[in-house]
Amino acid sequence: MSGQTSLHIDGRLVRVKAGTSVAAALRVADSMGVARTSISGQPRAPFCGMGVCQECRVRVDGRRMLACQTVCAEGMQVETTA
């Protein structure tokens, strides 16, 4: 579909507007989970949105990346639990 990008977040197919960050795609997918959790085990979420806080680390196509600094690409595989 033109103007949209399809990716997988934890195996779930998600479609977002082209140019959307992975952090925004996580919200679209109702997935606040990222690779980091608080001391109580609750998932952490992007905080700064500019790559400083490091709270949004996820695995994208096998590489650790910051969700807020990564633009979604067609067929991308995002893992929040890795």
Mean pLDDT of 54-81: 93
pLDDT of the residue at 35:
66
Tell me, what's the pLDDT at 16? 96
**Total domain count, the chain:** 1
- CATH of residue 62: 3.10.20.30
Separation CA 50–CA 11 (nearest Å) = 26
Name residues whose C-beta falls within 8 Å of residue 67's C-beta, 6 or more positions apart in sequence: 21, 22, 23, 25, 26, 34, 46, 56, 57, 58, 78
Span 1-41, pLDDT tens digits: 569 999 999 999 999 999 999 999 998 887 656 767 778 88
- Over pLDDT 90: what percentage of the chain? 55
Task: Show the domain range for 18.
Answer: 4-79
Measured between alpha carbons, how far apart are the two ends of the chain, in Å?
29
Query: What is the arithmetic mean of pLDDT over 62-75?
Result: 96
- The residue written with tokens 């977002």 in the block is 16
Which pLDDT belongs to residue 29?
84
